C-alpha cells in the first residue's frame, strides 16, 4: 500500500521566516495531495491541495510544489506568523476500485517564535 513519509517532525522558526515541510510518497498512482493544519483541540483543516497534473500552487503565504518524478511534495509557508503554529499533515490520495484511498503523513509540529 501507499506510504507517506513526512519531515521534519518538529520545526521551530522565527516569526517572519519561512517554513518548509517535505513529504514523499511511494505509490506513483497517487494523484491528489492535500495539506491539513490541525490546531490544538480541533480537527485537521484543509489549507491547500494540489493535483498530479499541476507542479505548483500558491495561496497567499502558502504554496505547495509537487515533483511526480521524484514522488515528493512540499509545503512552503512564507512570512510566518504566530497563528501558523500548529501540526501540519500531508496526504496522498488515489482512486482505487471506484473510491479514493487517502494516506497521511505522521505530521509536523510547527512552532513560530514571536
Select from 14, 40, 41, 69 the one that contacts other proteins (CB under 8 A). 41
Under a CB-based contact definition with an 8 Å cutoff, are residues 29 and 94 in contact? yes
Helix (H, G, I), strand (E, B) or coil at 29: coil
Among the listed residues 7, 11, 49, 78, the single contact to other proteins using CB under 8 A? 49
Of 4, 3, 96, 84, residue with least CA distance to 45: 84
Q: How far is CA 27 from the centre of its chain?
A: 17
Tell me which stretch binds other proteins (CB under 8 A): 12-20, 58-66, 68-76, 93-101.
Answer: 93-101
Binding mask 19-38 for other proteins (x = CB under 8 A): -------------x-x-x--
Amino acid at each position: 500500500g501507499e506510504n507517506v513519509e513526512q519531515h521534519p517532525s518538529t520545526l521551530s522558526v522565527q516569526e517572519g521566516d519561512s517554513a518548509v515541510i517535505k513529504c514523499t510518497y511511494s505509490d506513483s498512482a497517487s494523484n491528489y495531495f492535500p495539506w491539513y493544519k490541525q490546531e490544538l483541540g480541533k480537527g485537521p483543516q484543509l489549507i491547500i491541495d494540489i493535483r498530479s497534473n499541476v507542479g505548483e500552487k500558491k495561496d497567499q503565504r502558502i504554496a505547495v510544489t509537487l515533483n511526480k518524478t521524484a514522488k515528493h511534495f512540499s509545503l512552503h509557508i512564507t512570512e510566518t506568523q504566530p497563528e501558523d503554529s500548529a501540526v501540519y499533515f500531508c496526504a496522498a490520495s488515489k482512486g482505487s476500485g471506484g473510491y479514493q484511498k487517502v494516506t497521511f503523513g505522521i505530521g509536523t509540529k510547527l512552532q513560530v517564535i514571536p
